[in-house]
Amino acid sequence: MRTVCVYCGSSVGSRDEYTQAARDLGRLLASRGLRTVYGAGNIGLMGVLADAALEAGGEVIGVIPEALVERELAHNGVTDLRIVHSMHERKALMADLSDAFIALPGGFGTFEELCEMLTWLQLGIHQKPCGLLNVAGYYDPLITMFDHATEERFLRPQHRNLLQVETDPARLLDRLAATHPPETHKWLDRDER
């Protein structure tokens, strides 16, 4: 694991713990010699994460669509700023550049990006570990939803377990580094069709 993609909010949210977690994760990635890939924003948790990694001597790759650069949201101080045409290109490039994925608190975009990487892992499109940094219980409702989907047989237990969840960034990185996602069949009821 050399490069970690971090999905997080373009807002800092309502709790200081979210900002501190982004700062801690950025510093930790840099201290472990891991490159950070993120959405290239200079605002919210995205900006906090990037600044912390850069200040700690880390390498930060930002990927952003042209439309957001034009709104002056791009972080021009990152090590490598990649400008793409669309959000689809952004997500694909971030996935290609990364060896693992972590979600910090965020909104729709963060949820969608994490779930897309989990779906791709479930389908065997990639074999890269996915993690959730559950800061101050932020993701408790989403974790409960994933558990409910498993109970209702929309997720297999082995697919539910593809998501590594921790409250401590160092433990999460350790788990991701040690994780080798299994190859599984996506379909729950393949034999019942």
Q: Express each pLDDT in 108-134 by its tens digit.
A: 999 999 999 999 999 999 999 999 999
Q: Structure pTM?
A: 0.93
* Angle in degrees, CA 103, 109, 115, rounded to 5: 60
The pLDDT, as a whole number, for residue 58 is: 98
The pLDDT, as a whole number, for residue 193 is: 43
Helix (H) or strand (E) holding 60: strand 60-65
The mean-pLDDT minimum among 105-109, 155-159, 160-164, 184-188 falls in 184-188
Domains and CATH numbers, the chain: 3-177 (3.40.50.450)
Q: How many CB atoms lie within 10 A of CB 97?
A: 15
- 8 Å CB contact between 52 and 22: yes
Q: Which residue has the tokens 């993690």?
A: 131
> What percent of the chain clears pLDDT 90, i.e. is strictly above it?
89
The mean-pLDDT minimum among 68-72, 102-106, 175-179 falls in 68-72
**Is residue 166 over pLDDT 80?**
yes
Q: Give strand pairing partners of 3.
A: 35
